[in-house]
A = this chain, B = another copy of it.
Amino acid sequence: MTRSATVDTHRVWRLGADIDTDVLAPGAYMKLGIEGIAPHCLEALRPEFAREVRGGDVIAAGPGFGIGSSREQAAGALRHLGVSAVIAPSYSGLFFRNAYNLGLLLLTCPQAETLVEGDAVRLDLHTAGAPAVVAADGRRLACEPVPDFLLAMVNAGGLFNLLRQRIPSKTLETS
């Protein structure tokens, strides 16, 4: 999805600040695996989300996205549902780490909260060192640079897939 991000548009789901991991991956379903967790992603805030989200949609939220527990499924559920990116002013450090490891693009965007629910936005990841979200009204919202190694992880579908490309398979299977 991110490969063609400069031409595709992405529908915005607009959330508030401090979206925590329990809202993203509710504790009650943690034993079910990602297929069982994802249908409940964000249901406490937006009951329709998991049912109506489409591959390529993005989430625009307030600061502190992904705070709470260390559960990797918080990022995994968004990825499983086909969310292309999260756009927020700041993230929990651990969520940021987990998300990229799982191939979920996070854009650190101070003006994320000016994006509008339901609007179609574009992601410009190709202007060297200066990624941006282009809002429906044409405004260009600057984001913090995303280093190449993190973009490579997103494009590969996560760290494990990237390592599979780069390290002989026998090593990963036996270590």
Residues of chain A having any CB pair with chain B under 8 Å: 64, 67, 69-70, 90-97, 100, 106, 108, 144-147, 150, 166-168, 171, 175
Contacts and interface: CB of A to CB of B under 8 A. Distances in A.
A28 B145 CA distance: 20
A93 B64 contact: no
The 10 closest A-B pairs by CB, nearest first: A93-B96, A70-B147, A91-B93, A171-B171, A97-B97, A167-B175, A166-B175, A70-B145, A93-B93, A96-B96
Nearest to A145: B70
6 contacts: A90-B92, A92-B93, A92-B108, A92-B144, A93-B96, A167-B175
Given A70-B147, A93-B106, A94-B147, 15 more contacts: A64-B90, A69-B145, A70-B145, A70-B146, A90-B92, A90-B93, A92-B93, A93-B93, A93-B95, A93-B97, A97-B100, A166-B175, A167-B167, A167-B171, A171-B171
Contacts of A146: 70
Contacts of A168: 171, 175
Nearest to A147: B70
A97 B100 CA distance: 10
Nearest to A91: B93
A96 B101 CA distance: 13
Most buried by B among A93, A95, A144: A93
B90 A108 contact: no
Nearest to A170: B171
A64 B175 CA distance: 36
A128 to B, nearest CB: 13
Contacts of A147: 70, 94
